[in-house]
Amino acid sequence: MSRPPYPATSADYQALARARLPAFLCDYVDGGASDEQTLQANTRDWQDVHLRQRVLVDVERIDTRTTLAGQPCALPLALAPVGLAGLMARRGEVQAARAAEALQVPFSLSTVGICPVDEVHAATTTPCWFQLYMLRDRGVVRAMLEKAWASGCRTLLFTVDLPLPGMRHRDTRHGLDAGGPGPALSRAWQVLGHPGWLWQVALRGRPLTFGSLSAQVPHARNIDAFKAWVDSQFDPGVTWADIEWLRGLWPGMLILKGILNADDARQAVRVGAQALVVSNHGGRQLDGVLSTARKLPEIAQAVGADIEVLVDGGVRSGTDLFRAVALGARGALIGRPWVWALAGAGEAGVRALIASWQRELLLAMTLAGVTRIADIDASHLDRVAPRATP
């Protein structure tokens, strides 16, 4: 994939990112679980959602604004939490948060981000959303929540689909799930082949710690030691009772991310969540599950009147945002596209990507004959039989 001189799409920024990042970081971002069937379906299945074009409708005044989790937004989009985003550009989470604030969309900070929550909030005036994993050490969980709240976070995005990390073969091939001198030497060789990344990120981007966990994790500056600690902390025994405990601890907005079943969505309502994200973790957990585009209508129909429904997975354009809303979502979260833009062109790239998506969404609304986000629904879609699965 050649590098475009003037990037216009998510794929263009992906090409820029692959030219600037060491290969192990590219594949960390791009890869999915096992054979990556769900990863591919996530993107492909949005293309089977066909818009219904209308003409001679008064569309002089189009308004792409909406609210997500109670936060006013310029378009129905939020930047999803992405672990290690601070390795993709110098202080990457801060750059992305500034871009999101400038374009008036929410930014979500990952538990395993490089920049700590107080650094992100010092660089912006709009509080970010904070993403949390349930760890075995509930004292660590409590401490992170207290710090996030003290820093100004009022929206908690709790990831529920990671009792264990998925089988990500690209990471295995690069030695990211193994310690020792061999994998470290391989990564060092890749880094030396990207002197720009070495200078801008590895050297000038320090400290490359896991910011939100640096006070809790022994040897947090060593990626192998940190990974071993995190792997030991994933808790496959988490149940809905733990969500009730979390609900009692967190006084702000609670969003559950990783819902892929209507019964689970109904249970999310019962335990007091105010929003959910229809998500298969970007195809990075259980390979072979249905895409989020396929699951969204069922879940939105089951609980849409009782809870705010968001979606992520494979969303690659402003037209996909229109599709997501038409299928029942309030809005969509994106991960890989903003990371590609960040790695390829920094804060300016993230700004340009969001602005381009807003223009594309506006065009879709104009040609579908709808002027407000709240008016987009399934009547703006044409029903076509999905393509046969190869």
* All structural domains of the chain: 10-375 (3.20.20.70)
**pLDDT lower than 50: segments of the chain:** none
Q: Residue 223's pLDDT is what?
A: 61
| β-strands 155-159, 253-259 pairing | parallel
Residues 6+ apart with CB under 8 A from 222: none
The token pair that represents 306 in the structure block: 């009782």
Ranges assigned E (strand) in the chain: 50-51, 66-68, 71-73, 77-79, 108-109, 129-132, 155-159, 253-259, 275-278, 308-312, 331-334, 381-382
pLDDT of residue 216: 73
Instruction: Tell me the two tokens of residue 314.
Output: 């494979």
pLDDT of residue 304: 87
Asked whether 259 and 277 are in contact (CB, 8 A), the reply is yes
Per-residue pLDDT, 164: 85
Closest CA to 277 of 335, 350, 362: 335
In this prediction, residue 41 carries a pLDDT of 98
Residues involved in catalysis: 281
pLDDT score for 236: 86
Mean pLDDT score of the chain: 93
**What is the C-alpha to C-alpha distance for residues 345 and 118, in angstroms, rounded to an integer?**
24
**Tokens standing for 37?**
């069937």
